[in-house]
Amino acid sequence: MPPTILKGQEIIRRFVRPGDNTPMNYERHLVQRQWPRVIKALQGKVVPPYEVEIQPSSACNISCIWCIGESIQNANRVIRLPNALRKPQDMLKVVAGIVDYKVRESYTENGAQGMRDYRIETVKFSGFIGDPLVAKEATLAGMQYLSQNYVRVGLFTNGILMDETTWDSIANAGFLHLSLDAGSPETFAYLKCKRDLALGEKYFDLIMHNLEGLAARKAKSSGAAADLNVGFILNPYNYRELPAIAHRLKELGVNYLRLKIDIADQLTLSVPQIREAKELIGEVRTKLVSPGFKLVETHLLEGPPDERRCFSRCYTHFLWGTVGSDGNVYPCDHNTYPGAPHYGNAINKPFQEVWEGPMHALISRGLPSICPPTCSPFATRVNPFLEALKRYQRKHGLDGLENLRQTIVG
């Protein structure tokens, strides 16, 4: 049976969710901000991705119960990647290649066609298993180089190593995402320190100190405008701590509290717990949300799991790329483990040469069947949307697709 071609309004209702203008409405933001790249992806044409993730280290200093990287690596019986990017000189080779990667290509948008420059707009330092600040010297060197060259920079970290030496670089970046996931030292110890209470208390207090210091540095620094985000994975052990920790984070100067669920599906809320969690979320919205402090729900608390793969073609690997701690360029952040398919090494060759090389086309044909079973929330949501757009384009042409875009963006 051939795939169903959805009508335009059905595509909008199912994927774009009218009225949802949160940062997690990936589909709407792609249509609004990255439409020329969407067209290129649907055509299978390679241009610079708009975002690249760099994973400076495969080592971490805590042990989260739900670590998706650990789950996938254990399932695939593989070891961690080597940590070549811990060397600042190698990190600088990678980010220099990212900055230099610019191409002039055709575009179609708002009924017009022409030529425009494509470049990598955002680089985030994160980790599939490791924490970027385990390789602190290299991470800060990369962040500073990119910021100086007008690339938006973000950092994902657990905050333990986010000491005063990092505050200027982070405050002058685009955003911080600190994965906290606990409202007390006791819960932090249980979820992240193998129930070592003394270590949990030490790390929790250190994270709060680092957050407070960073927020104060940002407030005092002229031009510093990094969005300070804190992630909180709701689970049976922490959801009742939400109102208290939200209040404390707002006082510290955090801008966004981002609620998630465990996509490794190890610590899920029961139906009664979901009901209670929703009441607590409502309490936070009513009492604490303000222009300077927002609550963002990244995942639905109930309904089909976000990680369920409901697509047969991966388009998001045209839009995002990942540099593993070994310097290899991978299709996505969930594919960074020894033996995973990669395009080449961005330490040894310029990023453009790797990204546009023959391995990109070869690997594209095998995605997502050669991938681990769990995709990122972005890929899980965006790929079915882009598949629907591709079918719509086949029936209605590029002009019909552009008309649909105009309806979406209003």
pLDDT tens over the chain, length 410 residues: 456 788 888 898 888 876 666 667 899 999 999 999 999 999 999 999 999 999 999 999 998 988 765 545 454 444 689 999 999 999 999 999 999 999 999 998 887 889 999 999 999 999 988 999 999 999 999 999 999 999 999 999 999 999 999 999 999 999 999 999 999 999 999 999 999 999 999 999 999 999 999 999 999 998 899 999 999 999 999 999 999 999 999 999 999 999 988 876 778 899 999 999 999 999 999 999 999 999 998 777 875 455 568 899 999 999 999 999 999 999 999 889 889 999 999 999 999 999 999 999 999 999 999 988 878 888 988 999 999 999 999 999 999 999 999 998 87
Distance CA 71, CA 331 (A): 19
Quick one: pLDDT at residue 410? 77
Residue 225: how many CB atoms within 10 A of its CB?
Answer: 11
Q: What is the DSSP string of 74-135?
A: HHHT--PPP-GGGSHHHHHHHHHHHHH-EEEEEEEETTEEEEEEEE--EEEE--SSS-GGGG
The full length of the chain comes to 410
With a CB cutoff of 8 Å and minimum separation 6, the contacts of 258 are 177, 229, 230, 231, 232, 296, 298
- What dihedral angle (degrees, nearest 10) is formed by the CA atoms of 124, 23, 281, 182? 0
Picking from 234, 247, 242, 384, the residue whose alpha carbon sits closest to that of residue 299 is 234
Quick one: pLDDT at residue 129? 85
For CA atoms 144, 146, 151, 157, the dihedral sign is negative
Quick one: pLDDT at residue 25? 83
For CA atoms 6, 379, 170, 144, the dihedral sign is negative
Q: Are 98 and 151 in contact (CB under 8 A)?
A: yes
Q: Are 109 and 169 in contact (CB under 8 A)?
A: no
CB burial of residue 52 (10 Å; 0-12, 13-18, 19+)? buried
Distance CA 188, CA 114 (A): 53
Quick one: pLDDT at residue 132? 98
Q: How far, in whole angstroms, is CA 365 from its chain's centroid? A: 24
Quick one: pLDDT at residue 1? 46
